[in-house]
Chain A
């Protein structure tokens, strides 16, 4: 078996699966191009993560990682939860196959995004004047192919060595050379 017993346990009996109607923060990462997509919901009480729910489209590792992250986060303070790293998730799972390590990146990122969403909402509540609108969609700051961060407004992912352009259909970043947009699936004719 390519997966550890703990990975298989979390895959077979994932903890905290579901959605959350009254979530304090929601975070989504990934896209179907690389095969994984995760949505995390967090409930925060007295600065502690009171509850986590998640939904995951992905392989065995992606599902196990989501379940593990949710279990690790519950009960931690917001600050502690933000310190959960990709490495610590993989370690807690008894390791992951090398080509599945990117799944653990997604899990921690999705949780952090949900917490950041919560923090932004809190700030907006405290001083609405300073935050009249939700900050710009963060999606454009991530490479749609590897989920790695993209510096500022650069249209190039260092990790995958891919140059981006905006999809003419949905205006999200996509590989300049690709024929299909990873977000909306539009076909872009290339000469």
Chain B
């Protein structure tokens, strides 16, 4: 992607040769992204982020089909960009049903079926959840939607590039993906829209992206995502196998070494790179800061780590109580993670928890009650 900042900086819509070089580079990247999810190049529309792709899908598909109906079905654990796009649509007169999840964050396809009404035009269910790692039964859900001629969108941002994703097998009409989730640059993302499906343009303007998403293309970001997609496809099996082994090691040892720790999300149906926990009696941010001081970057869904100061809607939807939801922690294995890194983490993490629990009034309360 580097040459597209300085040497090949032409506008892809220009007819001069540096413009045409950029245009060709974009189309090559489109091919690579399409291949990664077994789609046609013409079905890929570049956007600036996964959130934009989700907004594009929800707003574009519903507004294009609103004569048919005004009801949308989502899961309770969708990303904010899906939930809030749906809230916006509610203001325009659409109605939204949120399908629940079980304790593993898993959606029951039957619940989706029950949520459908004659007025339903769109179902949007994520392929995998980034907070708890659970992979949803999309194929079954798509069967249900197809049989009733209802559009299905999936937010696959956390999945694409990290697990095999095939839009034909999944049977989806639209799919969001983001380059930064598979080692591409930030600001690179795309929406897949199945050939023949109507969608309203997300940005009105010129002819870029087939007129559906106007605006001068971010050539370096798109080229970078194309390369990342190519690498992801080549190394998919290795990537999954390697991160899965590290993940399983981490999960087994954390649950074993630290008392009162639970795995969040599904134990088997989960992203290969994803290990997430709730460490009882300890708040998420204080764990993150301590880990960061030891050179370990993790994430949490606790109120304090989110600027909104609200506990994760995903964990609450899974039936966790507030205190436990504040204790969440997410580790992602990446390509460069080694088994030594996991050993190091397993060495430094238990003392951090011990220190924080000594400080925790909730832990003291627990010990007192246990004595009684």
Picked from B282, B321, B362, B364, the residue with its CB within 8 Å of the CB of A180 is B321
Segment from A50-58, A82-90, A130-138 that makes contact with B = A50-58
B283 with A35: CB separation less than 8 A: yes
A162 to chain B, nearest CB (A): 13
The answer to whether A34 and B309 have CB atoms under 8 Å apart is yes
Given contacts A32-B362, A34-B309, contact A57 B322 (CB under 8 A): no
Assess whether B286 is in contact with A19, with CB atoms less than 8 Å apart.
Answer: no
Chain A: which residue is nearest B368 at the CB level?
A19
Q: A188 contacts the other chain (Cβ, under 8 Å)?
A: no
How many chain A residues touch B (CB < 8 A): the figure is 32
Interface locus among B27-35, B252-260, B300-308? B300-308
B359 nearest CB neighbor, chain A only: A17
B283, B293, B363, B364: the one contacting A58 at CB < 8 Å is: B283
Whether the pair B304, A36 counts as a contact (CB closer than 8 A) is: yes
Q: Are A57 and B289 in contact (CB under 8 A)?
A: no
Which residues of chain B from 274 to 293 have any CB-CB distance to chain A below 8 Å in the complex? Answer: 281-286, 289, 293
CA distance A58 to B284 in the complex (A): 8
Other-chain contact of A60, B286, B358, B362 (Cβ < 8 Å): B286
A59 to chain B: which residues have CB within 8 Å? 283-286, 302, 304-305
Determine if B267 is an interface residue (Cβ-Cβ < 8 Å).
Answer: no
Question: Which residues of B, 306-320, contact A by the 8 Å Cβ criterion?
Answer: 307, 309, 311, 316
A184 to chain B, nearest CB (A): 9
Do the beta carbons of A28 and B358 come within 8 Å of each other? Answer: no
**Cross-interface CB contact of A57 among B283, B305, B307, cutoff 8 Å:** B283
Measured between beta carbons, the chain B residues less than 8 angstroms from A61 are 304
13 A/B residue pairs, CB under 8 Å, sorted by A: A12-B293, A17-B359, A31-B322, A35-B303, A37-B361, A55-B359, A55-B361, A56-B359, A57-B281, A59-B286, A60-B289, A61-B304, A99-B307
Q: What is the interface of chain A, defined by CB distance below 8 A to chain B?
A: 8, 11-12, 14, 17-19, 28, 31-39, 55-63, 99-100, 102, 180, 182, 185
